[in-house]
Amino acid sequence: KPIKEIILAVEGLTVSFNGFKAVDDFSMYIDEGQIYVIIGPNGAGKTTVLDLICGKTRLTSGSIKFDGKELSRMKENKIVHAGVGRKFQNPSIYENLTVFENLELSYPKARTATGALFFKRTEEIVRAVENVAQEIFLDEFLHIQADLLSHGQKQWLEIGMLLIQNPRLLMLDEPVAGMSVTERQKTAQLLRRIAGGRSVLVIEHDMQFVEDIADHVTVMHQGKVLSEGSISKVKNDPRVIDVYLGH
């Protein structure tokens, strides 16, 4: 196996809200092509870590290096440009547009520098939309209005809207919440395929899903790394069992 490059290096990440350290000297290293999962009880600081990486929240101290570039002083849109895509828990799709149109609008070249759309549908855009639609299991639904999709299909569409921007790191917050068993399995398949060429950072509570996808698991507790390694290692770590059983 060739040695993998580190795509994201987070070191000593700390953020205080009115003196309360939500994230406290947190470090992690994500390899190219890796599915990295953060688990932990509510309030552990998981969402805040993702907010810090995508520039939604500013760190108090530490560093976030992505592909060698320091993200912590970059604006949110620059971070997206650098290749970091973030999906939030609630899909932000255009319900009254078709799957095709949703994907088309997310294609980077469909926008001018000012962000205004130019309505020229090129062969290149059509091909990119069709490729992504196939990846997200929606090739048969391209001309369906998005509000008619199932909850799971809407989640996939939003992943597709990120994929079409060709990110090198995709961050997902509880991607299978509310999904059926079949949809969960297909999402695992989708994430493994995505990780062929990019890295994926996931926050997840569903342990079966974590077992299905994770290359590396980090358990957060009170803003810090409590345990990390393979899923079987962290599952059997007495400190982790202690936190989940509530002492």
Binding residues (CB under 6 A) for ligand ADP: these are 17, 22, 40, 42-48
Instruction: Please state the closest distance from residue 89 (CB atom) to ligand ADP, in A.
Output: 10
Instruction: Please state the closest distance from residue 44 (CB atom) to ligand ADP, in A.
Output: 4
Can you tell me whether residue 181 is helix, strand or coil? helix
Minimum CB distance to ligand ADP smaller for 106 or for 218? 218
Residue 186 CA to residue 33 CA, distance in Å, equals: 19
Minimum CB distance to ligand ADP smaller for 17 or for 111? 17
State the amino acid at position 151 in one-letter form: H
Helices (H), 21-175: 46-53, 76-82, 99-106, 123-135, 151-163
Give how far the C-alpha of residue 187 lies from the chain's centroid of Cα atoms, to the nearest Å.
13
Residue 146 CA to residue 102 CA, distance in Å, equals: 8
Minimum CB distance to ligand ADP smaller for 48 or for 102? 48
Minimum CB distance to ligand ADP smaller for 45 or for 83? 45
Instruction: Please state the closest distance from residue 163 (CB atom) to ligand ADP, in A.
Output: 24
Instruction: Please state the closest distance from residue 138 (CB atom) to ligand ADP, in A.
Output: 29
Residues 97/141, Cβ–Cβ less than 8 Å:
no
To which residue do tokens 């994926």 refer?
Answer: 200
